[in-house]
């Protein structure tokens, strides 16, 4: 199985979980990772170059997915709009660029660890997760765990992942702090804003997002995603 790996801090608990529990999969001996940013993994998944990944929520509506995703109940800290005289998209993003359009938030969209560094530097910004929650009263689902195959195995893995919180060893925190140019305290603080279980409230938030995107004609088809330029 080829698993698409987004190397952002918001999925650090899942990567630790996979390392510990991948041996429970029948295919663990052939488990390989394909790294990329969300927009690139969307294209790879659409073209079936990878078997499973956390796929941007605007793309995941076409896919077989489980009740596991990347969720912000209120603020998200890592999906921001920065002051800018013109609207700028983040090339790493799919869903976040669209979210800014739906919320009519103008500026430069910044996502991922670079957005976190900006947030912790104290730069002026608008948190798109916070704006969505203030508008709808619902969480925002940024991505969903999707698969083309190995469905039963990934369903079991998904259930195990959300069953209890994942403890991050200190040495892994320090490794990621050095790699991301953040502190271990900042990473721990940030992860308190991220959740992974898709319950009823999260499903309502996701359905509302898809509905609004469709009404405005902003939701791309899988064919369009597959052939977008890198």
Q: What confidence tens digit (pLDDT) does each residue in 195-229 have?
A: 999 999 999 999 999 999 988 877 655 444 444 43
Closest CA to 17 of 144, 149, 164: 164
Domains defined for the chain, CATH in brackets:
2-220 (3.40.190.10)
Percent of the chain clearing pLDDT 90 (strictly above): 61
pTM of the model: 0.89
pLDDT digits over 128-161, tens only? 999 999 999 999 999 999 998 777 888 888 899 9
C-alpha 182/C-alpha 169 separation (Å) is: 16
Model confidence pLDDT, tens digit, residues 35-76: 888 888 888 888 888 888 899 998 888 788 889 999 999 999
**Separation of CA 180 from chain center:** 17
The stretch 18-31 carries a mean pLDDT of: 63
Nearest-10 crossing angle of helices 128-136, 200-215: 100
For the chain, the C-alpha Rg in angstroms (whole number) is: 17
Contact 209, 99 (CB under 8 A): yes
Q: Which residues pair with 108 in a beta bridge?
A: 82, 88
């Amino acid at each position: 199985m080829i698993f698409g790996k987004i190397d952002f801090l918001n999925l650090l608990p899942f990567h630790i979980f996979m390392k510990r529990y991948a041996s429970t999969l029948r295919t663990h001996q052939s488990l390989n990772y394909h790294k990329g940013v969300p927009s690139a993994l969307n294209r790879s998944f659409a073209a079936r170059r990878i078997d499973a990944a956390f796929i941007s929520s605007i793309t995941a509506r076409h896919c077989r997915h489980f009740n596991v995703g990347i969720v912000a109940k209120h603020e998200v800290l890592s999906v921001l709009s920065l002051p800018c005289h013109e609207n700028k998209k983040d090339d790493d993003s799919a869903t976040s660029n669209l979210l800014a359009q739906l919320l009519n938030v103008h500026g430069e969209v910044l996502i991922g660890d670079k957005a976190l560094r900006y947030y912790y530097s104290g730069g002026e910004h608008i948190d798109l997760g916070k704006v969505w929650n203030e508008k709808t009263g619902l969480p925002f689902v940024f991505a969903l765990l999707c698969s083309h195959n190995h469905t039963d195995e990934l369903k079991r893995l998904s259930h195990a992942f959300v069953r209890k919180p994942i403890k991050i060893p200190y040495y892994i925190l320090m490794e990621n702090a050095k790699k991301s140019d953040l502190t271990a305290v900042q990473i721990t603080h940030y992860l308190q804003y991220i959740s992974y279980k898709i319950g009823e409230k999260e499903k309502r938030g996701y359905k509302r997002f898809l509905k609004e995107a469709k009404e405005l004609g902003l939701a791309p088809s899988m064919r369009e995603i597959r052939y977008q330029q890198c």
